[in-house]
Amino acid sequence: MTSPVSDSLFARAKQLMPGGVNSPVRAFRSVGGAPFFVKAARGATLVTADDRELIDFVCTWGPAIHGHNHPRIKAALAAALEHGTSFGTPNPSEVEMAEWIVKFFPSIQKVRLCNSGTEATMSAIRLARGFTRRDKIIKLAGCYHGHSDSLLIKAGSGALTHGHPDSAGVPAAFARETVVVPYNDCAALAAAFAANPGQIAALILEPYCGNVGFIMPDPGYLAQVRQLTAQHGTVLIFDEVMTGFRIAPGGVQEREQIVPDLTCLGKIIGGGLPVGAFGGRAEIMDCLAPLGPVYQAGTLSGNPLAMAAGIASLQLLAELQPYARLDALGRQLRDAVQAAARAKGLPVQVPQCGSMFSIFFTATPVRDYATALTGDAALFGRFFHACLAGGVYLAPSAYEAGFISTAHEGAAIDRACEVLTAAIRGL
């Protein structure tokens, strides 16, 4: 499959941008080959610069839960555009967005809007440190929370793919303040608290991991995390940038009935435009400037275009309540992959919940960073390219989650299952 236009664009891009991309995972470094360039997207389909149509299971890394360029989101954006692009002042749409978030997430009494998931988690950590007057934090190996210094320690996602989870450029002094423990390991977590008595400001985790592949918690694990953090006066931060409004209207915390102290959001609440948010208990949030001593700010925070697109996306979720349909699509894909792998005698794990899934080529049940690494990444690369040749675009890394939208229903999911089945048969 030749892609002369993408190849030419990539050659130009590499002269101008490191690796020819603006986010590392897009470079296809872990699956090999050169990335394609996309010029348009609609529904479940990407249109490449070489006019190939691909069924998309990345969904711009989560935001496109209604598919790309949904008419309702497009119309909301067009209407907002009539009034301007950015005001730098309070505006009605950020109030409406805050009301939506507080309504869907009862644990969020107050919320601050920002421009990315990285900003949300970085700010939540600073807020927890300011509120507790403690410096240390706990994160879980393989969880990815964006690229702020304190959190790029044993990160997931692209940092994991690139084989050096601890990024260069992070001062050792910063890394020393971040304690890393395995996901799904209550004993290790209790030991970390015992070794740092009264010192842990916050524990941040992806309650369902989406950046080391897709990994769900053992039964009772999240309740144990909640109990230990409460016992030690540690702020529990759920990073639901990926899972918020995707796993359930109120994210994992609704599905698992766990109440964190702070929650980070992003992706879906921007409808495809740059966005982030963090919120939680008012007594913690009120430590934020201008009320309190913890500073946080942003030129484009609450941007009216991002708010308009995000509100339209949330309105659609409230109207359609698509979660059972999305789970049926996820099961259909999971069942097809499992059946094909069984017929081939190929060990595979296909964790799936609702519209999130991943595919690990290993016989080992994947429950944390270490077991995720037992997956055959080279085989995943071959599988990825076989799917791409068949017209299906999976995340270009064995350590990412796949995303399904309502637009995949019907022909797209059926065709995708055929392509994934044929790809496995050909391995």
Q: Which residues of this chain interact with ligand KE4, rule CB under 6 A?
A: 23, 25, 61, 116-118, 121, 144-146, 157-158, 206, 210-211, 239, 241-242, 266, 400
What is the C-alpha to C-alpha distance for residues 131 and 58, in angstroms, rounded to an integer?
36
Residue nearest to ligand KE4 (CB): 117
Least CB distance from residue 159 to ligand KE4, whole Å?
9
Pick the catalytic residue from 56, 110, 144, 185: 144
* Cβ nearer to ligand KE4, comparing 117 with 381: 117
* Cβ nearer to ligand KE4, comparing 269 with 423: 269
Least CB distance from residue 151 to ligand KE4, whole Å?
9
Pick the catalytic residue from 267, 368, 393, 399: 267
Least CB distance from residue 418 to ligand KE4, whole Å?
27
Q: Are 260 and 253 in contact (CB under 8 A)?
A: yes
Least CB distance from residue 75 to ligand KE4, whole Å?
25
Q: Is 239 a catalytic residue?
A: yes
What is the C-alpha to C-alpha distance for residues 143 and 150, in angstroms, rounded to an integer?
13
Least CB distance from residue 48 to ligand KE4, whole Å?
18
Q: Is 376 a catalytic residue?
A: no
Pick the catalytic residue from 56, 185, 239, 368: 239
Query: Tokens 């996901």 — which residue?
Result: 183
* Cβ nearer to ligand KE4, comparing 63 with 381: 63
* Cβ nearer to ligand KE4, comparing 10 with 193: 10
Burial of 427 (0-12, 13-18, 19+ CB in 10 A): middle
Burial of 307 (0-12, 13-18, 19+ CB in 10 A): buried
What is the biggest distance separating any 2 CA atoms in the chain, rounded to whole angstroms?
A: 61
Which token pair is 376? Answer: 């055959």
* Cβ nearer to ligand KE4, comparing 116 with 352: 116
Q: Which amino acids are annotated catalytic?
A: 144, 239, 267
